[in-house]
């Protein structure tokens, strides 16, 4: 599940989000066919001094920082499956 977390700090804000490129690379790892490819933590943290900068970042990156919602399509398929 994709998630963005905004936390208010004493001197600004912290925004945490997953990098979809790293998530995709982790999903494609296949260690059975060659050298071991380590898992990379996709969580990224950004620090902003005020709320306006947080909002600017969210407007610019929110759609691209979240991968397609696999849960809802998987859930819909499971509910519609007659097996």
Q: 19 lies in which domain range? A: 4-80
**pTM for the whole structure:** 0.64
Number of separate domains in the chain: 1
Residue 1: which pLDDT band, with cuts at 50, 70 and 90?
very low
CA–CA separation, 70 and 60 (whole Å): 22
| Per-residue model confidence (pLDDT) at position 30 | 84
CA–CA separation, 54 and 71 (whole Å): 27
In a 3-state reduction of DSSP, which class is residue 40? coil
Q: What tens digit of pLDDT does each residue of 39-75 get?
A: 999 999 999 999 999 999 999 887 775 555 555 555 4
Q: What tens digit of pLDDT does each residue of 38-47 get?
A: 899 999 999 9
Question: Around Cβ 74, how many Cβ atoms within 10 Å?
Answer: 10
């Amino acid at each position: 599940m994709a998630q963005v977390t905004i936390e208010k700090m004493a001197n600004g804000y912290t925004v945490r989000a997953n990098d979809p490129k790293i998530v995709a690379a982790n999903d494609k790892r296949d260690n059975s066919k060659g050298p071991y490819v380590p898992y990379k933590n996709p969580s990224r943290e950004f620090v902003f001094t005020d709320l306006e900068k947080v909002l600017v970042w969210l407007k610019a990156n929110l759609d691209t920082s979240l991968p397609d919602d696999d849960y809802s399509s998987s859930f819909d398929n499971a509910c519609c499956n007659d097996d």
